[in-house]
Structure 1
Amino acid sequence: MITAAIIGCGRIVAEGHAYAFQALKDRVQVIAVADPVPERRALIGEMLGVPEEAWYADYRDLLSRETPDFVDLALPHFLHEEVTIACAQAGRHILSEKPLATSLDSADRILEAVDKAGVYLGIMHNYRYLPHNVRALELIAEGRIGDPFFVRNEGLGGGHYRGASEYDPHWRAKGERSGGGALLDNGYHNIYMAEALMGSPVKSVYAHVGTYVQKQDVDDLAVVLLEHENGGVSSIQVSWAVRGGGQWVSEVHGTAGSLRFANGRLELFENGRGEWLPQDAGGFDHRSSFVTLFSEFITALEQGHPPRLDGRAARHNLAIVIAAYESSRCKRPVALSELGE
């Protein structure tokens, strides 16, 4: 039985991670939780049957007294470096919420600490495990749409995902805590999915990022154009400024057809058939994506090898986000090679 501890007991843990731990209770046991807010650590501790004596206010006490196989980190972004390095130095494997850090220098210090400690680091790129994305990737691998050349993703909303009310529900809208806004928080997911669907890494980024509506010091709109190494292009638009909501778009187009996720279902268009057909795939099942991700990470620990989505993958995706911010600032395309990728 693999054992785990949770550091950070916010909404995403209550609404996603805890469900995964409950679904995988035959393979993993949560033995301790840490959060400075008493109500939050009590909530998650009770949900997962953790003894009250293992509910910690300070994560450092948890690390000094408990010996979990891995730590599930779900913290405001500005805390990631400090706590991730502490977990590595304590000899604990780590599964971290995204982004890994708020800067590439910070990410590099984390990776150095992890390598020095000889522990594994996984990142929560959970959209890779949404049922419709899993099926889309299978259809692309089968050649059903030919060679992908254009990925399009648009998600326009009126605000950020709120944190726990007992802590600070608006920490994502504060630059000193989040490190970025709609792009770093929402667009981050769309970027790694664009690479996965295209089947090719991003080569360069051109973007416009700004704050138009919300009274905050982070962006509420990002329009990003990604050039891939295979010559393909991805277009990503995310916003926290559109109160009425925009048309949600998730598409990938290839030389022989297209895929789109709309109205809760995945559809395939094959040029030779000439019609959109629904596919056997689940909808936007947020909680199940965490179950699959946690299961894969646990399997890696059981088998003694690094997770597929590791710290290097986290650093790479963060570099694309940073390149987008830099492109917007300097008003030119930014190559990933400029950022050590």
Structure 2
Amino acid sequence: MSTLKVAVIGCGSIAKYRHLPEYNANNQVEIVAVCDIVPERAEQMAEEYGALAFTDYKEVLKVNGLDAISVCLPNYLHAPVSIDALNAGKHVLCEKPMATSKEEAEAMIAAATANDKKLMIAHNQRFVSSHQTAKEIIDSGKLGKIYSFRTTFGHPGPEGWSVDGADSWFFNKEQAFIGAMGDLGVHKADLMRYLLGEFTEVGAFIETNAKKNTEVDDNAVCMLRTESGIIGTLTASWAYVSGGDNSTVIYGEKGILRLEDDPTYSLIEEYRNGSVINHKLDKIQTNEEGGQTNTHVIDHFVESIVEDNQPLICGEEGMKSLQIILAALDSQESKQIISLKQGVTVK
């Protein structure tokens, strides 16, 4: 196949530190266009990558020979822009959370199917070495029956990461729809589904208690249960004043797995018989390091197009992870446990 022509729509931090450098590093890709409503941002990225600059994404979709786009926009624009791109015959890599409702997510999936194009959601946690190794260990049966887990994703908030700082769309409810749960929690929902399978019930406490002048959540604690009875907590926070936490611990019948829970070892296996196995693997990506590591998201997306394979995090997978977050919001509002099986409240 000839070189894949791609465009990045939205030139904020996720495009600047992840999508554009990773496309640029992939020798099967040519970045042909970038787009941002702030002309200076688009022009700066266009100059850096030798691309055309646009302020209207609909003009990008008309670029001759364009194969694929990344949607790096505020959450409320994920679905409409992705659907327009799919209908224009482009493959789409969309940032998470994929949409602001189940209906939007279904419409994105339908557009991908109707146009026979790839739709991938940029959940990078599945590509982290410790998480992939943990999945192999769990699937092998080495831990025996899995009982419970805890997973968390927290940092000081998007102010230091977003190109707009404290004025970022992340804090605007109309544009973001959801706060820390959509920014961080949905990553962990996707990771736990990848490691443990589907969840059937969700309960949550969700608060806006740390950030001022915003209505979106900044602290959330969720309780999850699988059909087989694995129970655990998922927490998301924008209120960790020092550093961040991106750890997961899985408790099984024969042992415990600690993922990204130790400064030296990305994965630690601790067994009932006293044996401990320390794994020194590639570090998980953080915003603090300026994004100099490869998330493998872009490479996987490109590979899925070139080899005509279904991406690991296709639209359906993205929607299932989104539904856990939507159920958490429902739980907070209704003060009930929400069933993911029937979409009804469990009394």
TM-score, structure 2 length as denominator? 0.89
Q: Does the aligned pair in 2 maintain the 1:23–1:291 contact within 8 Å?
A: no
Residue number among 71, 84, 87 corresponding to 1:89 in the alignment: 87
Q: Compute the displacement of 1:153 (Å).
A: 1.3
1:312 matched to 2:316: yes
**1:35 counterpart letter in structure 2:** D
3-state SS of 2:217 partner: coil
Change (3 A) 1:248 1:313: closer
How many pairs align? 334
Q: Does the aligned pair in 2 maintain the 1:18–1:47 contact within 8 Å?
A: no
Change (3 A) 1:193 1:33: same
Partner of 1:325: 329
Which structure 2 segments of 5+ residues have no match? none
Q: Percent identity?
A: 28
Alpha-carbon distance in 2 for matches of 1:182, 1:82? 22
Alpha-carbon distance in 2 for matches of 1:100, 1:121? 10
After superposition, residues 134-153 of structure 1 pair within 5 angstroms as 134-153=132-151
Change (3 A) 1:178 1:155: same
Give CA deviations for 1:259-297 in whole Å, capped at 9, x if unaligned.
Answer: 112214224334254143321312123558755222222
Partner of 2:218: 220
Partner of 1:336: 340
Give CA deviations for 1:2-26 in whole Å, capped at 9, x if unaligned.
Answer: 22111111101111112211321x1
Q: Which runs of 4+ in 1 moved over 6 A?
A: none
3-state SS of 1:100 partner: coil
Across the aligned residues of Structure 1 and Structure 2, the Cα RMSD in angstroms comes to: 2.3
Alpha-carbon distance in 1 for matches of 2:75, 2:176? 5
Q: Does the aligned pair in 1 maintain the 2:96–2:182 contact within 8 Å?
A: no
After superposition, residues 35-114 of structure 1 pair within 5 angstroms as 35-50=36-51, 54-114=52-112
**2:184 counterpart letter in structure 1:** N
3-state SS of 1:16 partner: helix
Partner of 2:201: 204
Alpha-carbon distance in 2 for matches of 1:71, 1:240? 29
Change (3 A) 1:325 1:108: same
Partner of 1:160: 158
Q: Does the aligned pair in 2 maintain the 1:6–1:72 contact within 8 Å?
A: yes
Which structure 1 segments of 5+ residues have no match? none
3-state SS of 2:210 partner: coil
Partner of 1:254: 252
1:279 matched to 2:279: yes
Alpha-carbon distance in 2 for matches of 1:290, 1:121? 20
Q: Does the aligned pair in 2 maintain the 1:153–1:249 contact within 8 Å?
A: yes
Partner of 1:27: 28
Q: Compute the displacement of 1:144 (Å).
A: 3.3
Alpha-carbon distance in 1 for matches of 2:284, 2:195? 17
Partner of 1:181: 179
